[in-house]
Amino acid sequence: MKKVRWGILSTANIARTQFIPAMFRAENAELTAIASRGSKVHAIAQKFNIPKAYESYEALLNDPEIDAVYIPLPNHLHKEWVIKAARKGKHILCEKPVSLNAEEAVEMDKITLECNVKFMEAFMY
Distance CA 47, CA 60 (A): 19
Q: How many whole angstroms separate alpha carbon 84 and alpha carbon 100?
A: 17
User: Would you name the residues annotated as active-site residues?
Assistant: 96
pLDDT > 80? residue 124? no
Q: How many CA atoms lie within 13 A of 12 on its CB side?
A: 15
CA contacts within 13 A on the Cβ side of 30:
11
Mean pLDDT of all residues in 106-122: 97
Q: Give 38's pLDDT tier (boundaries 50, 70, 90).
A: confident
The CATH number of whichever domain residue 66 belongs to comes to: 3.40.50.720
pLDDT digits (tens, 9 = 90+) for 67-96: 999 999 999 999 999 999 999 999 999 999
Query: What was the pLDDT predicted at 39?
Result: 87
Q: What is the pLDDT of residue 52?
A: 98
pLDDT at res. 125: 62
The structural domain count of the chain equals 1
Quick check: 8 pLDDT over 80? yes
> Which domain, by its residues, includes 55?
4-122
Q: How far is CA 124 from CA 11, 15, 19, 34, 120, in A?
A: 20, 15, 12, 22, 11
